[in-house]
Amino acid sequence: MTEFGSQKEFFDDIGEVEHHATAIFPDDTNLTCTLAAAEAANTFGTWAEIQDSATTTFSSKLASNEGHLVSMVIESLSEIDTIYLLEISYGADKTILTRWRFAGTTKFQNPSHQNRIRAVHIPAGETIYYRMKTATAVADTALVHFRYFLHG
C-alpha cells in the first residue's frame, strides 16, 4: 500500500469516528441500566458486567464487532448530595476505557447530563465492566444509558 493510501485510510477512520450513527444501550424505553457503588465511602465496589434491567449485557452488543463508547447519559442518581466516581473497563485484565467524576444537583449540576467519551476501541467479544464509589457510606446508584458505535 502506498503512503497516500495509508494516510487516506487514516483520515477515513477519523471521519468515521466523528460522523456516524450511534446505537443506545439499553435499547428500549422500558429498560434501564443501573450502576451501583460500594456501601463503604470512597471504596470501589467489585468489577461487575454492565447489563440492563432485562439482564442483557452491554458486552453482547459488541460480541461480533469491534466498537467504542461514545457517551454516557446520567438519567438519575439515588443520592443527589454526594460525589460519584466511575470506571469502565473491558477484558479479563480490566483495561480502563474511561473514568468519570460526577455529582447530584446539590453538588454541581442537574444529574441528567451527558459525558462524552474519547476511549480506545473495545475488541469484539470482550466483556465490559464497571465499578463505582461515592463519598457517602451507602449503596448509591446511578441510572444511565450509553451511546456506542460498532465498527465493521
Choose among 151, 135, 132, 138: nearest CA to 74: 132
Question: Which pTM was predicted?
Answer: 0.83
What does the pLDDT read at residue 113?
62
3-state DSSP assignment of residue 59: helix
Tens digit of each residue's pLDDT (9 = 90 or more) over 6-46:
666 665 665 555 656 789 999 999 999 999 999 999 999 99
Question: How many angstroms separate the Cα of 109 from the Cα of each of 77, 79, 83, 112?
Answer: 12, 13, 11, 8
In order of their start, the domains of the chain are 22-150 (2.60.120)
* pLDDT exceeds 50 at position 104: yes
What does the pLDDT read at residue 18?
60
CA 21 to mean position of chain CA atoms: 17
Tens digit of each residue's pLDDT (9 = 90 or more) over 59-103:
999 999 999 898 899 888 898 888 999 999 999 999 999 998 888
What does the pLDDT read at residue 12?
61
